[in-house]
Protein backbone atom coordinates (compact mmCIF):
# COMPACT_ATOMS: atom_id res chain seq x y z
CA UNK A 1 0.00 0.00 0.00
CA UNK A 2 1.28 3.45 -0.92
CA UNK A 3 1.26 5.73 2.12
CA UNK A 4 0.34 9.40 2.37
CA UNK A 5 3.93 10.18 3.39
CA UNK A 6 5.33 8.42 0.33
CA UNK A 7 2.95 10.30 -1.94
CA UNK A 8 3.86 13.56 -0.25
CA UNK A 9 7.54 12.90 -0.95
CA UNK A 10 6.75 12.34 -4.62
CA UNK A 11 4.62 15.47 -4.67
CA UNK A 12 7.44 17.60 -3.28
CA UNK A 13 9.83 16.24 -5.89
CA UNK A 14 7.50 16.62 -8.87
CA UNK A 15 5.16 19.57 -8.11
CA UNK A 16 6.24 23.17 -7.42
CA UNK A 17 5.73 24.47 -3.91
CA UNK A 18 3.64 27.36 -5.25
CA UNK A 19 0.57 25.14 -5.37
CA UNK A 20 -0.21 24.53 -1.72
CA UNK A 21 -2.14 21.68 -0.13
CA UNK A 22 -3.81 22.21 3.23
CA UNK A 23 -3.86 18.50 4.08
CA UNK A 24 -1.09 15.95 3.50
CA UNK A 25 -3.69 13.27 2.84
CA UNK A 26 -4.27 11.95 -0.65
CA UNK A 27 -7.76 11.28 -1.97
CA UNK A 28 -8.23 7.76 -3.27
CA UNK A 29 -12.03 7.52 -3.56
CA UNK A 30 -15.12 9.39 -2.43
CA UNK A 31 -18.87 8.95 -2.19
CA UNK A 32 -21.26 11.76 -1.32
CA UNK A 33 -19.91 13.35 1.90
CA UNK A 34 -17.31 10.68 2.73
CA UNK A 35 -13.81 10.35 1.31
CA UNK A 36 -11.01 7.83 1.77
CA UNK A 37 -7.29 8.46 1.53
CA UNK A 38 -4.51 6.33 0.07
CA UNK A 39 -4.21 4.39 3.34
CA UNK A 40 -7.93 3.66 3.54
CA UNK A 41 -8.67 6.22 6.26
CA UNK A 42 -12.20 7.63 6.15
CA UNK A 43 -13.02 11.35 6.45
CA UNK A 44 -16.19 13.40 6.45
CA UNK A 45 -15.62 16.07 3.84
CA UNK A 46 -16.45 19.56 5.13
CA UNK A 47 -14.47 21.24 2.34
CA UNK A 48 -16.04 19.69 -0.80
CA UNK A 49 -13.14 20.81 -2.98
CA UNK A 50 -13.70 24.42 -1.84
CA UNK A 51 -17.49 24.54 -2.33
CA UNK A 52 -17.50 22.54 -5.57
CA UNK A 53 -19.34 19.35 -4.63
CA UNK A 54 -22.53 20.83 -3.17
CA UNK A 55 -24.28 17.79 -4.65
CA UNK A 56 -21.75 15.45 -3.03
CA UNK A 57 -18.98 13.40 -4.58
CA UNK A 58 -19.99 11.21 -7.49
CA UNK A 59 -23.72 11.88 -7.55
CA UNK A 60 -25.05 9.02 -9.68
CA UNK A 61 -27.28 11.29 -11.78
CA UNK A 62 -24.36 13.56 -12.70
CA UNK A 63 -22.12 10.60 -13.51
CA UNK A 64 -24.81 9.08 -15.72
CA UNK A 65 -25.29 12.34 -17.63
CA UNK A 66 -21.55 12.76 -18.21
CA UNK A 67 -21.09 9.13 -19.25
CA UNK A 68 -23.91 9.47 -21.77
CA UNK A 69 -22.31 12.63 -23.17
CA UNK A 70 -18.93 10.89 -23.44
CA UNK A 71 -20.53 8.29 -25.67
CA UNK A 72 -21.61 11.11 -28.02
CA UNK A 73 -18.61 13.51 -27.96
CA UNK A 74 -16.36 15.08 -25.35
CA UNK A 75 -15.30 18.28 -27.13
CA UNK A 76 -15.78 20.28 -30.29
CA UNK A 77 -15.56 23.92 -29.05
CA UNK A 78 -18.75 25.95 -29.03
CA UNK A 79 -16.96 28.58 -31.14
CA UNK A 80 -16.58 26.09 -34.00
CA UNK A 81 -19.75 23.99 -33.87
CA UNK A 82 -22.26 24.76 -31.09
CA UNK A 83 -24.32 22.15 -29.25
CA UNK A 84 -27.73 22.11 -27.61
CA UNK A 85 -26.68 21.47 -24.01
CA UNK A 86 -24.83 24.82 -23.90
CA UNK A 87 -27.95 26.64 -25.09
CA UNK A 88 -30.24 24.74 -22.71
CA UNK A 89 -28.02 25.48 -19.72
CA UNK A 90 -27.96 29.18 -20.67
CA UNK A 91 -31.75 29.21 -21.04
CA UNK A 92 -32.30 27.65 -17.65
CA UNK A 93 -29.85 29.92 -15.85
CA UNK A 94 -31.27 32.98 -17.60
CA UNK A 95 -34.72 32.02 -16.30
CA UNK A 96 -33.64 31.85 -12.64
CA UNK A 97 -30.83 34.42 -12.39
CA UNK A 98 -31.62 37.26 -9.94
CA UNK A 99 -31.09 39.85 -12.68
CA UNK A 100 -33.62 42.44 -13.82
CA UNK A 101 -34.91 42.11 -17.39
CA UNK A 102 -33.80 39.88 -20.26
CA UNK A 103 -30.72 37.82 -19.44
CA UNK A 104 -28.02 36.05 -21.43
CA UNK A 105 -25.27 33.67 -20.29
CA UNK A 106 -21.83 32.69 -21.55
CA UNK A 107 -19.69 29.83 -20.26
CA UNK A 108 -16.00 29.37 -19.59
CA UNK A 109 -13.92 26.90 -17.58
CA UNK A 110 -12.71 28.53 -14.34
CA UNK A 111 -13.92 31.15 -11.90
CA UNK A 112 -11.03 33.43 -12.78
CA UNK A 113 -12.04 33.27 -16.45
CA UNK A 114 -15.57 34.24 -15.49
CA UNK A 115 -14.31 37.29 -13.56
CA UNK A 116 -11.95 38.34 -16.35
CA UNK A 117 -14.74 38.18 -18.89
CA UNK A 118 -17.18 40.01 -16.62
CA UNK A 119 -14.67 42.86 -16.55
CA UNK A 120 -14.34 42.73 -20.35
CA UNK A 121 -18.12 42.90 -20.71
CA UNK A 122 -18.33 45.78 -18.24
CA UNK A 123 -15.64 47.75 -20.04
CA UNK A 124 -17.13 47.07 -23.47
CA UNK A 125 -20.63 48.11 -22.40
CA UNK A 126 -19.64 51.26 -20.47
CA UNK A 127 -16.57 52.43 -22.39
CA UNK A 128 -14.82 52.92 -19.05
CA UNK A 129 -11.67 51.29 -17.65
CA UNK A 130 -12.02 51.39 -13.84
CA UNK A 131 -12.96 48.46 -11.62
CA UNK A 132 -13.52 48.64 -7.87
CA UNK A 133 -13.26 45.58 -5.63
CA UNK A 134 -13.07 45.01 -1.88
CA UNK A 135 -10.26 44.28 0.54
CA UNK A 136 -10.39 40.63 1.54
CA UNK A 137 -12.16 39.64 -1.65
CA UNK A 138 -10.84 36.77 -3.74
CA UNK A 139 -11.45 36.64 -7.49
CA UNK A 140 -8.76 34.34 -8.90
CA UNK A 141 -5.07 33.82 -9.63
CA UNK A 142 -4.66 35.26 -13.13
CA UNK A 143 -2.91 38.63 -13.23
CA UNK A 144 -6.13 40.61 -13.69
CA UNK A 145 -8.01 38.72 -11.01
CA UNK A 146 -5.01 38.96 -8.69
CA UNK A 147 -5.20 42.72 -9.11
CA UNK A 148 -8.86 42.43 -8.11
CA UNK A 149 -8.11 40.14 -5.14
CA UNK A 150 -7.74 41.91 -1.82
CA UNK A 151 -5.17 39.78 0.00
CA UNK A 152 -1.40 39.93 -0.52
CA UNK A 153 -0.09 36.74 1.10
CA UNK A 154 -0.07 34.14 -0.34
CA UNK A 155 -1.85 35.21 -3.51
CA UNK A 156 -0.22 38.40 -4.80
CA UNK A 157 3.22 38.43 -3.23
CA UNK A 158 5.98 38.48 -5.84
CA UNK A 159 3.72 38.55 -8.89
CA UNK A 160 3.43 42.27 -9.62
CA UNK A 161 3.11 44.60 -11.34
CA UNK A 162 -0.59 44.01 -11.88
CA UNK A 163 -2.95 45.42 -14.50
CA UNK A 164 -4.00 49.00 -13.87
CA UNK A 165 -7.35 50.71 -13.27
CA UNK A 166 -8.19 48.32 -10.41
CA UNK A 167 -8.99 49.94 -7.08
CA UNK A 168 -9.95 48.54 -3.69
CA UNK A 169 -12.01 49.76 -0.81
CA UNK A 170 -12.87 48.22 2.53
CA UNK A 171 -15.63 45.63 2.97
CA UNK A 172 -18.01 46.32 5.88
CA UNK A 173 -17.37 43.98 8.80
CA UNK A 174 -19.23 45.23 11.89
CA UNK A 175 -17.62 42.45 13.97
CA UNK A 176 -14.31 44.22 13.34
CA UNK A 177 -15.76 47.64 14.10
CA UNK A 178 -16.24 48.77 10.50
CA UNK A 179 -19.89 49.19 9.54
CA UNK A 180 -21.86 49.94 6.38
CA UNK A 181 -21.79 53.71 6.84
CA UNK A 182 -18.01 53.68 7.12
CA UNK A 183 -17.73 51.42 4.07
CA UNK A 184 -19.95 53.72 2.00
CA UNK A 185 -17.89 56.72 3.13
CA UNK A 186 -14.74 54.83 2.12
CA UNK A 187 -16.14 54.22 -1.34
CA UNK A 188 -17.03 57.88 -1.74
CA UNK A 189 -13.50 58.80 -0.61
CA UNK A 190 -12.10 56.45 -3.26
CA UNK A 191 -14.10 58.32 -5.88
CA UNK A 192 -12.61 61.58 -4.64
CA UNK A 193 -9.02 60.39 -4.41
CA UNK A 194 -8.30 57.52 -6.82
CA UNK A 195 -10.90 56.86 -9.53
CA UNK A 196 -13.70 59.14 -10.69
CA UNK A 197 -17.13 57.49 -10.83
CA UNK A 198 -17.48 58.48 -14.49
CA UNK A 199 -14.32 56.46 -15.21
CA UNK A 200 -15.56 53.39 -13.30
CA UNK A 201 -16.98 50.49 -15.30
CA UNK A 202 -17.94 48.20 -12.43
CA UNK A 203 -18.02 47.52 -8.73
CA UNK A 204 -17.35 43.82 -8.09
CA UNK A 205 -18.45 42.31 -4.79
CA UNK A 206 -18.83 38.87 -3.28
CA UNK A 207 -22.23 39.00 -1.52
CA UNK A 208 -20.59 36.64 0.96
CA UNK A 209 -16.88 37.37 1.19
CA UNK A 210 -15.44 33.91 0.51
CA UNK A 211 -11.73 33.53 1.10
CA UNK A 212 -11.93 36.73 3.14
CA UNK A 213 -13.85 34.98 5.93
CA UNK A 214 -17.55 34.50 5.02
CA UNK A 215 -18.55 38.01 6.05
CA UNK A 216 -21.99 38.78 4.63
CA UNK A 217 -22.74 42.06 2.86
CA UNK A 218 -25.88 43.42 4.50
CA UNK A 219 -29.01 44.12 2.49
CA UNK A 220 -28.60 47.79 3.36
CA UNK A 221 -25.07 47.87 2.00
CA UNK A 222 -26.08 46.11 -1.21
CA UNK A 223 -28.89 48.63 -1.66
CA UNK A 224 -26.43 51.49 -1.16
CA UNK A 225 -24.11 50.00 -3.79
CA UNK A 226 -27.01 49.63 -6.21
CA UNK A 227 -27.98 53.26 -5.71
CA UNK A 228 -24.39 54.46 -6.19
CA UNK A 229 -24.03 52.37 -9.35
CA UNK A 230 -27.31 53.64 -10.78
CA UNK A 231 -26.41 57.25 -10.00
CA UNK A 232 -23.09 57.03 -11.83
CA UNK A 233 -23.81 54.52 -14.61
CA UNK A 234 -21.60 51.86 -13.02
CA UNK A 235 -22.30 48.13 -13.32
CA UNK A 236 -22.76 46.05 -10.18
CA UNK A 237 -21.12 42.62 -10.55
CA UNK A 238 -21.85 39.91 -7.99
CA UNK A 239 -19.12 37.26 -7.70
CA UNK A 240 -21.06 34.11 -6.78
CA UNK A 241 -18.29 31.66 -7.67
CA UNK A 242 -18.25 30.25 -4.11
CA UNK A 243 -21.73 31.20 -2.91
CA UNK A 244 -23.83 29.96 -5.81
CA UNK A 245 -25.92 26.85 -6.45
CA UNK A 246 -27.80 26.41 -3.17
CA UNK A 247 -24.82 26.90 -0.86
CA UNK A 248 -26.42 29.82 1.00
CA UNK A 249 -29.93 28.39 1.15
CA UNK A 250 -30.96 30.04 -2.13
CA UNK A 251 -29.81 29.24 -5.64
CA UNK A 252 -27.72 32.42 -5.49
CA UNK A 253 -26.77 34.62 -2.55
CA UNK A 254 -28.22 37.53 -4.53
CA UNK A 255 -31.63 35.83 -4.29
CA UNK A 256 -31.64 36.75 -0.59
CA UNK A 257 -30.92 40.37 -1.47
CA UNK A 258 -33.54 40.52 -4.20
CA UNK A 259 -36.12 39.01 -1.88
CA UNK A 260 -35.27 41.49 0.88
CA UNK A 261 -35.20 44.76 -1.05
CA UNK A 262 -35.45 44.12 -4.77
CA UNK A 263 -31.76 44.78 -5.45
CA UNK A 264 -30.24 42.82 -8.33
CA UNK A 265 -26.81 42.75 -9.98
CA UNK A 266 -26.09 43.59 -13.60
CA UNK A 267 -23.72 40.64 -14.03
CA UNK A 268 -23.21 37.50 -11.93
CA UNK A 269 -20.16 35.24 -12.13
CA UNK A 270 -20.55 31.53 -11.36
CA UNK A 271 -18.35 28.40 -11.24
CA UNK A 272 -17.39 25.86 -8.54
CA UNK A 273 -20.60 23.96 -7.64
CA UNK A 274 -22.14 24.67 -11.04
CA UNK A 275 -21.46 21.17 -12.38
CA UNK A 276 -20.81 18.96 -9.37
CA UNK A 277 -17.06 18.67 -9.89
CA UNK A 278 -16.77 19.08 -13.67
CA UNK A 279 -14.98 22.26 -14.80
CA UNK A 280 -17.28 24.99 -16.07
CA UNK A 281 -17.91 28.62 -15.20
CA UNK A 282 -20.05 31.43 -16.51
CA UNK A 283 -21.19 35.00 -16.62
CA UNK A 284 -24.92 35.71 -16.40
CA UNK A 285 -26.02 39.23 -17.20
CA UNK A 286 -28.44 41.72 -18.65
CA UNK A 287 -28.85 40.91 -22.33
CA UNK A 288 -27.89 44.34 -23.68
CA UNK A 289 -24.71 44.39 -21.58
CA UNK A 290 -23.77 40.86 -22.55
CA UNK A 291 -24.14 41.77 -26.22
CA UNK A 292 -21.72 44.72 -25.97
CA UNK A 293 -18.55 42.81 -26.98
CA UNK A 294 -18.28 42.18 -30.73
CA UNK A 295 -18.40 38.63 -32.13
CA UNK A 296 -15.10 36.91 -31.37
CA UNK A 297 -14.42 39.14 -28.37
CA UNK A 298 -15.49 36.48 -25.90
CA UNK A 299 -14.89 32.74 -25.74
CA UNK A 300 -12.24 30.11 -25.09
CA UNK A 301 -11.34 26.73 -26.53
CA UNK A 302 -12.72 24.73 -23.61
CA UNK A 303 -15.34 27.26 -22.56
CA UNK A 304 -18.70 25.64 -21.82
CA UNK A 305 -17.43 22.08 -22.11
CA UNK A 306 -20.20 19.70 -23.20
CA UNK A 307 -19.37 17.54 -20.18
CA UNK A 308 -19.74 20.56 -17.88
CA UNK A 309 -22.97 21.61 -19.58
CA UNK A 310 -24.76 18.27 -19.13
CA UNK A 311 -23.46 18.05 -15.55
CA UNK A 312 -24.68 21.59 -14.93
CA UNK A 313 -28.15 20.75 -16.19
CA UNK A 314 -28.26 17.75 -13.88
CA UNK A 315 -27.11 19.88 -10.91
CA UNK A 316 -30.05 22.24 -11.42
CA UNK A 317 -32.45 19.28 -11.40
CA UNK A 318 -30.84 17.73 -8.32
CA UNK A 319 -31.03 21.00 -6.38
CA UNK A 320 -34.77 21.16 -7.11
CA UNK A 321 -35.59 17.45 -6.73
CA UNK A 322 -33.63 16.97 -3.50
CA UNK A 323 -34.59 20.34 -1.95
CA UNK A 324 -30.97 21.31 -1.47
CA UNK A 325 -31.68 24.97 -0.72
CA UNK A 326 -33.82 23.94 2.24
CA UNK A 327 -31.28 21.32 3.22
CA UNK A 328 -28.50 23.93 3.21
CA UNK A 329 -30.50 25.94 5.71
CA UNK A 330 -31.00 22.88 7.92
CA UNK A 331 -27.36 21.76 7.81
CA UNK A 332 -26.05 25.27 8.42
CA UNK A 333 -28.52 25.85 11.23
CA UNK A 334 -27.41 22.74 13.08
CA UNK A 335 -23.73 23.55 12.60
CA UNK A 336 -24.07 27.16 13.73
CA UNK A 337 -26.21 26.11 16.67
CA UNK A 338 -23.62 23.61 17.89
CA UNK A 339 -20.77 26.14 17.57
CA UNK A 340 -22.70 28.87 19.39
CA UNK A 341 -23.55 26.47 22.17
CA UNK A 342 -19.86 25.65 22.63
CA UNK A 343 -19.02 29.35 22.70
CA UNK A 344 -21.76 30.09 25.19
CA UNK A 345 -20.54 27.21 27.37
CA UNK A 346 -17.07 28.70 27.77
CA UNK A 347 -14.95 28.09 24.67
CA UNK A 348 -13.59 31.63 24.55
CA UNK A 349 -11.60 31.09 21.34
CA UNK A 350 -14.86 30.78 19.39
CA UNK A 351 -15.71 34.32 18.36
CA UNK A 352 -18.25 35.11 15.68
CA UNK A 353 -20.27 32.25 14.18
CA UNK A 354 -21.86 33.27 10.89
CA UNK A 355 -22.81 32.57 7.32
CA UNK A 356 -25.95 31.97 5.29
CA UNK A 357 -27.16 28.43 4.72
CA UNK A 358 -24.36 25.86 4.76
CA UNK A 359 -21.65 28.47 4.14
CA UNK A 360 -20.55 28.61 7.76
CA UNK A 361 -17.58 30.33 9.39
CA UNK A 362 -16.23 30.26 12.93
CA UNK A 363 -13.84 33.09 13.75
CA UNK A 364 -11.08 32.03 16.12
CA UNK A 365 -9.90 34.69 18.57
CA UNK A 366 -8.17 35.03 21.92
CA UNK A 367 -10.31 35.59 25.01
CA UNK A 368 -13.49 36.28 23.01
CA UNK A 369 -11.88 39.46 21.68
CA UNK A 370 -12.48 40.28 17.98
CA UNK A 371 -9.34 42.42 18.02
CA UNK A 372 -7.16 39.40 18.88
CA UNK A 373 -7.21 36.94 15.95
CA UNK A 374 -5.64 33.55 16.63
CA UNK A 375 -4.39 32.01 13.36
CA UNK A 376 -2.22 29.48 15.20
CA UNK A 377 -5.22 28.08 17.05
CA UNK A 378 -7.05 27.97 13.72
CA UNK A 379 -4.31 25.79 12.24
CA UNK A 380 -4.45 23.48 15.27
CA UNK A 381 -8.21 23.07 14.89
CA UNK A 382 -7.93 22.14 11.19
CA UNK A 383 -5.10 19.69 11.94
CA UNK A 384 -6.84 18.14 14.94
CA UNK A 385 -10.03 17.81 12.92
CA UNK A 386 -8.20 15.79 10.28
CA UNK A 387 -6.98 13.46 13.02
CA UNK A 388 -10.64 13.08 14.05
CA UNK A 389 -11.60 12.18 10.48
CA UNK A 390 -12.77 15.62 9.31
CA UNK A 391 -11.56 17.57 6.29
CA UNK A 392 -11.87 21.27 7.09
CA UNK A 393 -10.52 24.52 5.65
CA UNK A 394 -9.31 27.79 7.06
CA UNK A 395 -9.59 31.24 5.51
CA UNK A 396 -9.93 34.88 6.45
CA UNK A 397 -8.20 38.20 6.04
CA UNK A 398 -6.34 37.46 9.28
CA UNK A 399 -6.03 33.69 8.78
CA UNK A 400 -8.22 32.95 11.78
CA UNK A 401 -11.45 31.55 10.34
CA UNK A 402 -12.49 27.90 10.12
CA UNK A 403 -14.92 27.53 7.23
CA UNK A 404 -17.38 24.73 6.72
CA UNK A 405 -18.64 23.81 3.23
CA UNK A 406 -20.32 20.40 3.65
CA UNK A 407 -22.10 18.55 0.88
CA UNK A 408 -25.77 19.52 0.88
CA UNK A 409 -26.58 15.88 0.15
CA UNK A 410 -24.91 14.73 3.37
CA UNK A 411 -27.07 12.05 5.06
CA UNK A 412 -28.49 12.93 8.47
CA UNK A 413 -26.45 10.23 10.20
CA UNK A 414 -23.20 11.54 8.71
CA UNK A 415 -24.16 15.09 9.66
CA UNK A 416 -24.76 14.02 13.25
CA UNK A 417 -21.40 12.25 13.30
CA UNK A 418 -19.70 15.32 11.83
CA UNK A 419 -21.20 17.62 14.47
CA UNK A 420 -20.01 15.33 17.26
CA UNK A 421 -16.51 15.17 15.78
CA UNK A 422 -16.34 18.94 15.34
CA UNK A 423 -17.33 19.41 18.96
CA UNK A 424 -14.77 16.83 20.10
CA UNK A 425 -12.10 18.64 18.06
CA UNK A 426 -12.94 22.00 19.63
CA UNK A 427 -12.90 20.55 23.13
CA UNK A 428 -9.63 18.77 22.44
CA UNK A 429 -7.77 21.90 21.30
CA UNK A 430 -9.28 23.87 24.16
CA UNK A 431 -8.02 21.31 26.66
CA UNK A 432 -4.57 21.23 25.03
CA UNK A 433 -4.09 24.98 25.35
CA UNK A 434 -4.71 25.04 29.11
Q: What is the pLDDT of residues 329-350, one digit of tens each?
A: 999 999 999 999 999 999 999 9
Residues 307 and 338 in one domain: no
pLDDT at 299 over 70: yes
309 with 401, same domain?
Answer: no
Residue by residue, DSSP assigns 14-40 as HS-TTS--S-S--EEEEEBTEEEETT-
Last residue of a domain, one of 255, 290, 321: 321
Q: Check residue 88 and give its pLDDT.
A: 98
Q: What is the pLDDT of residues 389-419, one digit of tens each?
A: 999 999 999 999 999 999 999 999 999 999 9
Domain count, the chain: 2
Q: What is the four-CA torsion angle of 315, 319, 320, 326, rounded to 10 degrees?
A: -170
pLDDT of residue 287: 98
One domain for residues 207 and 112: yes
Residue among 206, 124, 215 at smallest CA distance from 175: 215
Quote the CA–CA distance of 177 and 174 in Å, as a whole number. Answer: 5
- The residue segments making up the domain with residue 97 are 62-321
**pLDDT at position 1, please?**
81
* CATH number (domain holding residue 101): 3.40.640.10
Residue 19 has pLDDT above 70, yes or no: yes
Question: What tens digit of pLDDT does each residue of 379-388 get?
Answer: 999 999 999 9
Claim to verify: residue 222 and residue 336 sit in the same structural domain: no
Beta-carbon neighbour count of residue 315 at 10 Å? Answer: 28
Same domain, 342 and 314: no
Residues 220 and 362 in one domain: no
Count of beta carbons in the 10 Å neighbourhood of residue 64: 12
- Report the pLDDT value the prediction gives residue 29, as an integer from 0 to 100: 96
**Are 364 and 226 within one domain?**
no
Regarding predicted confidence, which is higher, 433 or 213?
213
Whether 13 and 94 share a structural domain? no
pLDDT of 227 over the 80 cut: yes
Percent of the chain predicted with pLDDT > 70: 100
- Per-residue pLDDT at 434 exceeds 70: no
Mean pLDDT, to the nearest integer, of 204-214?
Answer: 96
Indicate whether 170 and 208 sit together in one domain. Answer: yes
Domain boundary among the residues 288, 321, 354 is at: 321
The arithmetic mean of pLDDT across residues 237-260, rounded, is: 98
Q: End of a domain among 321, 339, 366?
A: 321
Q: Are the CB atoms for 318 and 61 separated by under 8 Å?
A: yes
**What is the residue-averaged pLDDT of the chain?**
97
Q: What is the mean pLDDT of residues 359-384?
A: 97
Domain identity same for 282 and 354: no
Distance between CA atoms of 44 and 405, rounded to whole angstroms?
11
Model pLDDT, residue 432: 85
CATH of the domain at 344: 3.90.1150.10
3-state secondary structure of 294: coil
Q: Are residues 135 and 72 in the same domain?
A: yes
Please tell me the pTM assigned to this model. Answer: 0.97
Residues 78 and 16 in one domain: no
Residue range 26-76, pLDDT digits in tens: 999 999 999 999 999 999 999 999 999 999 999 999 999 999 999 999 999
Amino acid sequence: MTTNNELWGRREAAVPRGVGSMHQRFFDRAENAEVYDAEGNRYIDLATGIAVCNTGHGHPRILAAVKAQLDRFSHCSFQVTPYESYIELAERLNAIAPISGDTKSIFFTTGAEALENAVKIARASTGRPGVITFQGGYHGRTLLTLAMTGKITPYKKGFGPFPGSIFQTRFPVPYHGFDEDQAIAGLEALFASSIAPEDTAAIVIEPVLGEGGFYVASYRFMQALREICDRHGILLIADEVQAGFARTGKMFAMDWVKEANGVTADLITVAKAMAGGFPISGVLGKADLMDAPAPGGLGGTYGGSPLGCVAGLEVLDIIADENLCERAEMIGGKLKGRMRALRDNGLSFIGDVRGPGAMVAVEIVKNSDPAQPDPEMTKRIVSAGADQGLLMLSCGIRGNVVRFLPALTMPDAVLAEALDKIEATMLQVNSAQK
